[in-house]
Chains A and B, each alone.
Chain A
Amino acid sequence: MDILKVEKVSKTYGSGEAAVHALRNVSFTVPKGEFTVIVGESGSGKSTLLNIIGALDTPSAGRVYVDGKDIFKMKDQNRTVFRRRNIGFIFQSFNLIPELTVEQNMMFPVLLDHQKPDRRYLEELLGALHLTERRAHLPGQLSGGQQQRAAIGRALITRPALILADEPTGNLDSRNTNEVIALLKQASRKYEQTIVMITHSRSIAQTADRILQVSDGHLTDLGRCRE
């Protein structure tokens, strides 16, 4: 079953002679549980693609289906709620809320939904991410790797259909990079999570299920690595 379906998506900034075509007629699908990596040069359009998949930006043309739903047919408010429940984000600069503890940061999307967090699942995630001891710490009291693990926990807490990560290891040293990638892959397997990740690292890309390359707005499927 395809959890993500991108259909003829184009994105153009500006108009006339000043028009910049960030994405041109991009189409692909991602099946449930796949760990997909997007690679490409700076300015190739990969972040634009991720923004559109995550409903943070709107395409100039084309459709995006997440879990079978056309996210750009939804009203803005509904799209926000859909994003909150179905798409998890992991940012390069972590973007944890400095005033909330690790535990509160992880629960944040659930609390936004005015729901009670599933305590057992939270404990499980804290354990899996090696953050049980650090649950009451503020982000400012954590290392970069620990902050990114908390961000992964926040992305996983709602059991989203899709997790999007833009250079999640960009601010980390090699030891933490390996740890974060291992955790992401582990989560992908354990919770059957679909992950789409941007990376510049060739070695990280090699460990993914599948590699997509964006170049001048065109997408090329480089195939499944482990097949």
Chain B
Amino acid sequence: MKSYLSLIPISARMHRRQNRMTLSCIIFSVFLVTAIFTLADMGIRMERIRLLEKHEGLTMQDMAGTTMGQTLFPIAALLSVLILFAGVLMISGSINSNVAQRTRFFGMMRCIGMSKKQIILFVRLEALNWCRTAIPTGVVLGTAASWAACAGLRFLVREEFSQIPLFGVSPTGIASGSIMGVLTVLIAAGAPARRASRVSPVTAVSGNAYTSSPVHRAAGTRFLPIETSLGIHHAVSARKNLLLMTGSFALSIILFLSFSVLVDCVQYLMPQLSSTPDLHISADSGGNSVDGTLAENLRHIDGVGQVYGRRSAFGLPMRTAEDASVQSCDLISFDEYDLDCLAKDGLLKRGSKISKVYGDSGCVLAVLSEDSLLEPGDKIWIGEEELEIAGLLKYDLFSSDGSAGDTVTLIASGDTFTRLTGASGYSLLMVQLDRNAGDETVEKVRQAVPDQYAFHDDRGQSTAGTYTAFLFCVYGFLLIIALVAALNIINSISMSVSARAEQYSAMRAVGMDERQIAGMIAAEAFTYACSGYATGCAAGLLLHRSLYRILIETHFPQAAYAFPAASLLIILLFVAGSTAAAVYGPVKRVCQCSVITGTWGQ
């Protein structure tokens, strides 16, 4: 040993198991930053390839000026700052836990002459020592994850991501991950290092390593089993920790609920309907003049998935049972696939029976304005033909803001439409391509379409790629927040259990069994979780309602607020899952630990 600092690698080898959590936290932070910056870099490279095809001799300086260049790196930087905060929180908790487990060791170090400054340096260097393995691992994992994400974007999302590089290595990503790793560790080690330096040398000789703050209130043991009462008391008595844990969970829940409104909002802005066509054919002359046989011809072309059409008749005279006066309505026909999509996309109001609409039937679906009195089951008449309203659509698919005007719009099957109007041709023919179909298929379709019809390629207008990328970012971000909350509770419980290791040994010695130990630790963890869940849901639901009103209801009048029960259930499962995970390790550790350790105070 050259100096006392030579103890660091020796100690790291000895405590490899205990250090696993801290290492995981550092790896996780480095992994996230590397993955985010590598992805941003790949995005820039993709944009460069795309632009180079258009303009030769493009330089990186030109690239920095593009919208994507100006957007991606600032987003990556913002996310990195968030990760820095989250990382500091995680790693700090983890190093704290590590220090708490070695209180007696630090007491002994102080006892044999290590100064407070030397202890601080020791803990900081120990943390940096972990970076030696954690940073390369995080960088490798981050790069590999970015490759997987690029592959997902390229092969699953496709669209505008079809040119994203697959196995790119990003110096920016690697440098950012490494720098962020060191920075996070240095900041995170600060508080635990000071805490370690404050350990009294007396702890080494007194055997009293448990240096908790004095207890002022006794645990209530009247109503609950003793182990549950003690667990809850452990959580509630550490007020600062309770606040931190409640805040950590609540923040995740609030963000989750807020982002779910954002996802809803984007769904309204970019509705992803199953019936969205890749190509469409319309009659130049208007009316239902597209020949029905064209649909059959197109179906036989390789790479064509679905072909379906719509017919329309406007201003038909309509009467209702309540109102004998004649009013005007629009009638639109949907082929079977189109009707299937309505049901699949959940566009029908509750009580609708779409099965009645298929084939030559006496039933139609209706798009009604808010003040209409018609309901499913009501009868209407078009001319002498009696029709039943089998269902209602949630909003008007044919208007830009989804709100239905004064005119009633009815949707019938193709056969019903032909029976009512006599028209068998289409006004609009839509084509969906197979996933592997390319320009060749489009060209074949174009050639099959007679000149009197207008052919439109809608693939460029598809928002599916942008929508998926948006979801990818939102859920990625939520995952980070959720993982931070999970790691926080894991750390916190681990730390609390470490600090009470001797107390648990004594409890086991006087007869507490493993099930009761598990119950006590679980009660502590679930107190944090319940407090966080209640606070998060209360604040999150208020915010959720307000955001829904501001972002959606004011712009989309047809939007109806629904209580986010599914989201709350997902959150509940996540909170329960992470809490159970937090309990598992410490319980195992306590139960594996010999009862005699620390029991007799020797």
Option from A92, A99, A104, A109 in Cβ contact (under 8 Å) with B511: A109
Q: Are B214 and A140 in contact (CB under 8 A)?
A: yes
> Does B396 reach chain A (CB closer than 8 Å)?
no
Q: Are A77 and B502 in contact (CB under 8 A)?
A: no
Collect the chain A residues with CB atoms within 8 Å of residue B207's CB.
93
> Within the complex, what minimum Cβ distance (angstroms) separates B523 from chain A?
13
Collect the chain B residues with CB atoms within 8 Å of residue A140's CB.
214-215
> Does A81 reach chain B (CB closer than 8 Å)?
yes
> Within the complex, what minimum Cβ distance (angstroms) separates B228 from chain A?
11
Q: Are A108 and B508 in contact (CB under 8 A)?
A: no
Collect the chain B residues with CB atoms within 8 Å of residue A93's CB.
207-208, 600-601
What number of A-B contacts does a CB cutoff of 8 Å give?
A: 104
Q: With A and B bound together, what is the CA distance between A209 and B144 in angstroms? A: 73
The contact string, 1 if C-beta is below 8 Å from chain A, for chain B 205-248, is: 00110001011101101000111001001100100000000000
Q: Are A99 and B599 in contact (CB under 8 A)?
A: no
> Does B10 reach chain A (CB closer than 8 Å)?
no
Of chain B, the residue at the smallest CB distance from A137 is: B218
Q: Which of A51-59, A118-126, A180-188 contacts B (4 or more CB under 8 A)?
A: A51-59
> Does A84 reach chain B (CB closer than 8 Å)?
yes
Q: Are B225 and A77 in contact (CB under 8 A)?
A: no
Q: With A and B bound together, what is the CA distance between A91 and B207 in angstroms? A: 13
> Does A166 reach chain B (CB closer than 8 Å)?
yes
B:498-512 near A, CB below 8 Å: 502-503, 506-512
The contact string, 1 if C-beta is below 8 Å from chain B, for chain A 46-83, is: 01000100101100000000000000000011001101
Q: Are A104 and B601 in contact (CB under 8 A)?
A: no
For the side of the interface on A, what is the size category?
A: 35 or more
> Does B595 reach chain A (CB closer than 8 Å)?
yes
Q: With A and B bound together, what is the CA distance between A81 and B510 in angstroms? A: 10
Q: Are B601 and A111 in contact (CB under 8 A)?
A: no
Interface hub of A80, A88, A92, A114 (most chain B Cβ within 10 A): A80
Option from A57, A76, A80, A99 in Cβ contact (under 8 Å) with B237: A99
> Does A112 reach chain B (CB closer than 8 Å)?
yes
A:122-160 near B, CB below 8 Å: 136, 138, 140, 154
State the majority secondary structure of interface residues on B. loop
Q: Are A154 and B510 in contact (CB under 8 A)?
A: yes
> Does B596 reach chain A (CB closer than 8 Å)?
yes
> Does B284 reach chain A (CB closer than 8 Å)?
no
With A100-B219, A100-B221, A138-B218 in contact, do A112 and B226 touch (Cβ < 8 Å)? yes
B:564-602 near A, CB below 8 Å: 594-596, 599-602
Collect the chain B residues with CB atoms within 8 Å of residue A76's CB.
514
> Does B513 reach chain A (CB closer than 8 Å)?
yes
> Within the complex, what minimum Cβ distance (angstroms) separates B223 from chain A?
12
> Within the complex, what minimum Cβ distance (angstroms) separates A171 from chain B?
7
> Does A36 reach chain B (CB closer than 8 Å)?
no
Of chain B, the residue at the smallest CB distance from A171 is: B601
> Does B289 reach chain A (CB closer than 8 Å)?
no
Q: With A and B bound together, what is the CA distance between A88 and B511 in angstroms? A: 9
Q: Are A91 and B215 in contact (CB under 8 A)?
A: no
Q: With A and B bound together, what is the CA distance between A47 and B214 in angstroms? A: 30
Of chain A, the residue at the smallest CB distance from B512 is: A112
Q: With A and B bound together, what is the CA distance between A167 and B508 in angstroms? A: 19
Collect the chain B residues with CB atoms within 8 Å of residue A47's CB.
600, 602
> Within the complex, what minimum Cβ distance (angstroms) separates A172 from chain B?
12
Option from B215, B513, B596 in Cβ contact (under 8 Å) with A77: B513
Q: With A and B bound together, what is the CA distance between A167 and B218 in angstroms? A: 28
The 9 sampled A-B contact pairs (Cβ below 8 Å) are A57-B596, A77-B514, A95-B599, A97-B507, A112-B227, A138-B216, A140-B215, A166-B600, A170-B601
Apart from A97-B507, A99-B237, A112-B510, 9 more pairs, CB < 8 Å: A56-B596, A84-B510, A84-B511, A93-B208, A95-B599, A100-B230, A109-B511, A136-B218, A138-B218
